[in-house]
Structures are given as C-alpha cells and as structure tokens.
Structure 1
Amino acid sequence: MAITGGCQCGAVRYSLEGALPAAYSCHCGECKKQSASAFSMSVAIDTANLRWTGDPAMFETVAFSGARKLCYFCANCGTRLWHRGSEDSAAASLKVGTLDDTVGIEPMGHLWMSKIQPGIAIAKDVPAFDTQPDDVAAWRTSLVKR
C-alpha cells in the first residue's frame, strides 16, 4: 500500500512504497525555522521508494549540526517536503506534516533537546539527545514504533 502526501496547494504530490518508519522530532533552530513551529517531525525514508508529481524546488543550506542539507519544497506554496544530505543520497527525511494521513504517528525519539522550546513536554520513555548521536542514520533506523 502506498503512503501519500504533498504540499499545501497540491502542486507537488508524492507516494512512498512500503511501511512508514518510526517518526522522530528535531528541536534545532533550523527545524524550527523550516517548520515555523516549535520543532519538526520527520521519518527517514529510502529515496528509491519515493515518487512524486510536480516540480519540487530545492535549495541548499547548512544544518544546525554543520552538515550540508538539500531541502525540497513546493515553489508555489513553500511547503517543505523532504531533505537529504546530497544529490546521490539514498536517504531522505520526509516531513510528517505533509502526509495525507498522520493518524497514530508520534515521535519515537528527539534530537537537539538543548534547543527545545519552553513549554514543550515529551514522554520520559522516548530516547532524546541534547544534540544528536554521532551516527544519526543508524539512530533513525533503530527507532521502533510503539
């Protein structure tokens, strides 16, 4: 069964084959800006399983961690859809808020807790890092849905 989503205006739509991985939240300054909220929630996906229609725009930035990040978004409405580390990267971070159905999705881990917005409470039994683990990709794949 395909998982579907897209931007606010509908100009870019996507589908993802396979089961949706566990979601995680990031509280860094970059994620706060891109989501225009207190944090962003993402799922790590294999870009080989991602198909889209429309023409997503891309800009390059430097992540809060210092890593290079390619950010894909709708050029019409500005919705951030996914980002990845390079053009040839097999992995991407898909933004949970762009999914058509978000029922039952909750973060199974948190990054950059040192930058958490005051007043945001997280479950005490969910793994959390002051910054991020040395191997973020391995950490993402280690997350398990409850």
Structure 2
Amino acid sequence: MTDPMTSDPIEPVTMPMLPLTGGCQCGGLRYTIDAAPSVFYLCHCTECQTQTSSAFGESLRVDPGSVTITGRMATTRRLSDSGTVRLGDFCPECGVRIQHRSEGDPSRVNIKAGTLDDTSWLIPAGHIWTASKQGFVRIGADELAYRHAPEDRFAALIARWQAMVAAGAAT
C-alpha cells in the first residue's frame, strides 16, 4: 500500500483487539486503553533520551478518556523549551513512566508504548526531533521524519498511522 500523503510505501499495522493493556515493571501500576490510538511515533529529543535511558521515546497517543489506570501513581513536572509544563506519570515503586502529557491540555495523553503487555504489533508512523537523534539510529528514506516538532501539529503522522492501520485491517 502507498501512503496517500507522500506516495511512499507504508507498512501495515494489525491492531490487536481492544482493550490494550500494560503496566509498570513491578506490576503495581496497570492500565487499559479502550479506544484505538490516534498515532504511534518515536521521539528523539534529548528529554526522551534522558527519561528512557535509551535512544528515543515511544509515544502512543490516545484519548485520555479511553485510559483507565489502577494502582498508585506519582507525577513529575518539567518546563519544556516551548514553555509548556510537561507531566510524567510513573510508578513510585519501580520508577517506570507510564505516560506523559501537557498541563492544561486534557485532549491527549501519550502512553509510553514500551509498557504495553504486547508490543509486537507496533510500527512507528514516523520520527520527531531527529536533529538530536543518536548517530547510530538509521531512519529510512520512506519514513516520515521531522528535525523538531511537526509544524502541522502531527497531522501527517496521524494520517500516515491511519493509513497503516487501514492497510493492516485490509489484510
């Protein structure tokens, strides 16, 4: 299948049955997601690299109303370069971050996708903040990639994700 936005080939994503489930490393914090995610992407900003102790962060954007969290949760706060207060929700026992969000924006939350019970179906729609990506990370020419945050407020990433999910449903 070809991405209608770019004429690039896309990889089909086969969504598992809902709800999606996941949690922290110790099992003290669990969640369910009852609606399909709007997009999955990788973030290469230095904040995600530091937070994950890895090369990038995995963000699965979902409607906050579709997420149910059980267990005790703690929250960190930091001021982003844009001036937005970013909140990171994590398990206070094992320290695993479950999600992050922006203060004052109840419309979206990003689940840290590595905390899903089943990650086998995940294929990113693209990459953001590639200006600070680790040198060993290779991004294919047919992948959507942004040097910083997408100027279109993620519209192209969301459209590509929707095309990937539609292609997976058609197979």
TM-score normalised by length of structure 2: 0.78
Structure 1 residue 106: Cα displacement: 1.6
| 2-structure distance, mates of 1:6, 1:140 | 25
Is 2:58 the counterpart of 1:41?
yes
Q: Which amino acid counterpart does residue 84 of structure 2 have in structure 1? A: A
User: What amino acid maps onto 1:3 in structure 2?
Assistant: L
| CA distance 1:117–1:99, shift in 2 (3 Å) | same
Alpha-carbon distance in structure 2 between the residues aligned to 1:88 and 1:131? 20
**What displacement does 1:137 show?**
4.8
Structure 1 residue 55: deviation in Å?
1.4
Aligned residue for 1:43, secondary structure, equals: strand
Q: How many residues align?
A: 146
- The answer for the alignment partner of 2:32 in structure 1 is 15
Q: Kindly report which structure 2 residues correspond to 1:14-93, keeping only aligned pairs within 5 A, or say none.
A: 14-86=31-103, 89-93=106-110
Unaligned regions of 5+ residues in structure 2, if any?
1-17
**1:42-86 CA distance string (max 9 Å, x none):** 111110000011011001112355422011001001101101111
The aligned residue for residue 129 of structure 1 is 146
Identical positions, percent: 37
Question: Which deviates more from structure 2 when the two are superposed, residues 107-116 or residues 86-95?
Answer: 86-95
RMSD (Å) for aligned C-alpha atoms? 1.7
SS at match of 2:98: strand
Alignment correspondent of 1:143 = 160
Change (3 A) 1:88 1:124: closer
Which residue number in structure 1 is paired with residue 122 of structure 2? Answer: 105
Larger radius of gyration between Structure 1 and Structure 2: 2
The alpha-carbon deviation at position 133 of structure 1 amounts to 1.6
- Long gaps (5+) in structure 1: none
Contact 2:125 2:157 (8 Å CA) reproduced = no
Moved more, 83-92 or 33-42: 83-92
AA partner of residue 160 (structure 2) = L
TM score, norm. by length of structure 1: 0.91
SS in 2 for 1:132: coil
C-alpha contact 1:29 1:64 (8 A) present in aligned 2: no
State how far apart, in whole Å, the 2-side matches of 1:16 and 1:49 are: 5
Which structure is higher in strand share? Answer: 1
